[in-house]
Amino acid sequence: MNFDQIALILVDIQKDFWDPYASEKAFRAFPSNVEKILEKSREKGFTVVHVKSEFQPDRSDWMLFYRPEGRGDIPCIKGKGGTDFTPFSRPSPEEYMVNKQTFDAFLNTGLYDYLKSRNVKAVLIAGLETSVCVLFTATSAYLRKLVPLVIEDACADGLERHEKTLRMYNQLSFITVTTEQVLSDFSSVMKIVERFRK
């Protein structure tokens, strides 16, 4: 398998999603890990995809459970600064952008058709939040016969939810890898992909 058959999908690395975790010790390396992985992916020629959540203030495109009044604040309202990508995850102009209104970056976004057109066979996934949009996106990739590799130390969430999701769904909905493997031991990542592509 060639490097151009691998995609990096960065899920919802936006101000509203990152700010609650920015001061947490457990995720101190998250910005640096994302930045390094993004740089390495560009260097290797991976397809890079940036996923962005953005919602209308009138709730018209909110998910079912969030539509009723009184459900509290919803992040990433269109026209507010919370939708902005963080400085360490900013897209380049040529990189593919996905706007979504659900937990799943594949649902009604055209992402799968785009990856298929580029002959992508495996996806590296990083982002926010591990137990929600990262999990749903990884599972959706798996159901579409892509090999989903979740970069465990380039994801963040409430610490307990983060750890439980990685423990419960590794080898079920995705395979976990580390930033170090992606940066310094990519042959081990390729072996994982080849094993499941046979």
- For the segment 37-75, what is each residue's pLDDT rounded down to a tens digit? 999 999 999 999 999 999 988 878 887 777 666 566 778
Residue 25 CB-density burial (10 A; 0-12 exposed, 13-18 middle, 19+ buried): exposed
pLDDT at res. 69: 65
Q: What DSSP character marks residue 101?
A: S
Is the CATH code 3.40.50.620 the one for domain 3-197?
Answer: no
pLDDT at res. 70: 59
CA–CA dist 33, 179 (Å, integer): 6
- Partners of 178 in the beta sheet? none
Distances (CA, A) of 184 to 164, 170, 174, 192: 26, 22, 21, 15
Spans of the chain, pLDDT less than 70: 67-72, 198
- For the segment 115-132, what is each residue's pLDDT rounded down to a tens digit? 999 999 999 999 999 999
Q: Where exactly are the structural domains of the chain? A: 3-197
pTM of the model: 0.95
pLDDT at res. 65: 75
Tokens representing 168 are 């419960």
